[in-house]
Amino acid sequence: ELVNLNELYNYILDRFDMMLKNEPDNGKKNKRYSIKRDFTRRELWVEIDTDKFIQVIDNIMNNAIKYSPDGGIITCRLLETHSHVILSISDQGLGIPKKDIAHIFDRFFRVDKARSRAQGGTGLGLAISKEVIEMHGGRIWVDSIENKGSTFYISLPYQEYEEDLWDEA
């Protein structure tokens, strides 16, 4: 369906803020985090499957929390280009070794088995995320520096909403 992405992204992040407030034991080993939002003020309407999109952002956010030290800042951005919307999620966590970056979206791939086993999970989250984003004609990729953090990017095809075109005319 046609969705206001600013609203949907805010809604997903609000749930992570609430989890922190309402459930100190939130299943993330009491990990604390704070979320910073840097969104375009322009309303971006995109044609997406809402439930699947929520699943993708949930996984990337859960990863950002899981693979970061306590108290990390997670920065979430939303911006647009002529033809795409771009969402990004940056953490201050463990980062991903250079040699592993190419495999991060493979099924069952996990950086450093020992480190990952302690955290729980199956290694499917990002493979599913990639499938969903590509199904929408978009792309997903990551920039990461070990021991500094990671930024996951999602781009989706974007057509300016008709009303915006009228506004500018």
What is the binding site for ligand ATP (CB under 6 A)? 59, 63-64, 67, 91, 93-96, 104, 109-111, 116, 121-127, 150
Rounded Cα gap, residues 77 and 90, in angstroms:
9
Contacted entry of ligand ATP, Mg ion, none for residue 110, CB cut-off 5 to 8 Å set by kind: ligand ATP
Spell out, one character per residue from 53 to 82, where the chain touches Mg ion: x when CB under 5 A holds, - when not. ------x---x-------------------
The widest CA-to-CA distance across the chain, in whole angstroms, is 58
Task: Kindly state the smallest distance separating residue 102's Cβ from ligand ATP, in Å.
Answer: 12
Residues 100-129 that bind Mg ion (CB under 5 A): 125
Contacted entry of ligand ATP, Mg ion, none for residue 141, CB cut-off 5 to 8 Å set by kind: none
Contacted entry of Mg ion, ligand ATP, none for residue 133, CB cut-off 5 to 8 Å set by kind: none
- DSSP string across 48-100: --HHHHHHHHHHHHHHHHHTS-TTEEEEEEEEE-SSEEEEEEE--S----GGG
CB atoms within 10 A of CB 78: 20
Contacted entry of ligand ATP, Mg ion, none for residue 90, CB cut-off 5 to 8 Å set by kind: none
Task: Kindly state the smallest distance separating residue 151's Cβ from ligand ATP, in Å.
Answer: 9
Rounded Cα gap, residues 90 and 161, in angstroms:
28
Contacted entry of ligand ATP, Mg ion, none for residue 65, CB cut-off 5 to 8 Å set by kind: none
Task: Kindly state the smallest distance separating residue 138's Cβ from ligand ATP, in Å.
Answer: 17
Provide the b/e sequence for 106-118 (b: ≥16 CB within 10 Å). Answer: eeeebbeeeebee
Task: Kindly state the smallest distance separating residue 129's Cβ from ligand ATP, in Å.
Answer: 7
**72-80/149-157 β-pairing:** unpaired
Residue 29 amino acid letter = K
Backbone angles phi, psi at 75, to 5 degrees: -105, 125
Where do contacts with Mg ion occur on this chain (CB under 5 A)?
59, 63, 125
